[in-house]
Amino acid sequence: MEPATPAPPRPHRVVVLALDGVLTFELGIPQRIFALPRDAAGRPLYEVVTCSVREPGPVRTDADYTVRVEHGPEALATADTVLIPATHELGPLLEEGVLPAELASALTLVRPEARLVSICTGAFVLAAAGLLDGRPATTHWGYTAVFRRLFPAVRLDPDVLFVDDGSVLTSAGVAAGLDLCLHLVRRDHGAAVANDVARRTVLPPH
């Protein structure tokens, strides 16, 4: 009797949390970068899923259109990596450093072992949830003063493209999210895979 063929490894699941007011550029970064890496057999190394804090449906963007998100917050419980892009509707986050109730509730679904990643002002969400306390982090340079006022426990460095603090990673503004996601591919699968993604997306590898 021939031994059973082992099942192929499950792709690493990246769950992108799309908040109302999400910046469309930042929302597209994880899909563009993580959809490309493949193993030697051509199988995808990542699976990208987008969810909202409510039931599936439309999510406002910073543009003159909405996006329809097919998953609700329950997808966060399945994530190996949770990625939070920027939103221009920070609301109470900029005023008091407080998470809206439905967002706070959604974040409780994230597994303790999941990796947490933010792009640009997505760092405000992680900071308001207390997930950056005592850690180094970065965000868009234009929000440095308000971030430091609201979250003095975070070791903010606004002069870098991204900060890798192990299980929690943050990027500076806008296109720095590309650098951070490419860094994650390099960290997870090595320089050869990351360089292939960089060539295909016409990005510098570092």
pLDDT category of residue 2 using cuts at 50, 70 and 90? low
**Mean pLDDT computed over 151-165:** 98
- Tokens found for residue 109: 């679904």
For the domain covering 12-200, report its CATH number: 3.40.50.880
Q: How many CA atoms lie within 13 A of 50 on its CB side?
A: 22
Q: For the residues of 128-191, what is the DSSP string, one character each?
A: HTTTTTTSEE---GGGHHHHHHH-TTSEE-TTSSEEEETTEEEE-STTHHHHHHHHHHHHHH-H
Residues in the chain: 206
- Tokens found for residue 181: 């996601």
pTM for the whole thing? 0.95
Q: Which residues contact 109 (CB under 8 A, 6 or more apart)?
A: 73, 74, 76, 77
Active-site position among 120, 126, 176, 194: 120
What is the rounded CA–CA span in Å between residue 41 and residue 160?
36
pLDDT category of residue 52 using cuts at 50, 70 and 90? very high
- Tokens found for residue 48: 């990208």
pLDDT category of residue 19 using cuts at 50, 70 and 90? very high
Confidence (pLDDT) at 7: 66
How confident is the model over 61-105, as pLDDT tens digits? 999 999 999 999 999 999 999 999 999 999 888 889 999 999 999
Owner of token pair 């221009």: 88
Confidence (pLDDT) at 1: 55
Mean pLDDT over each residue of the chain, to the nearest integer = 95
181 is catalytic: no
What is the rounded CA–CA span in Å between residue 22 and residue 20?
5
What is the rounded CA–CA span in Å between residue 170 and residue 56?
26
Q: How many CA atoms lie within 13 A of 26 on its CB side?
A: 32
- 54: amino acid identity, one letter: R
pLDDT category of residue 130 using cuts at 50, 70 and 90? very high
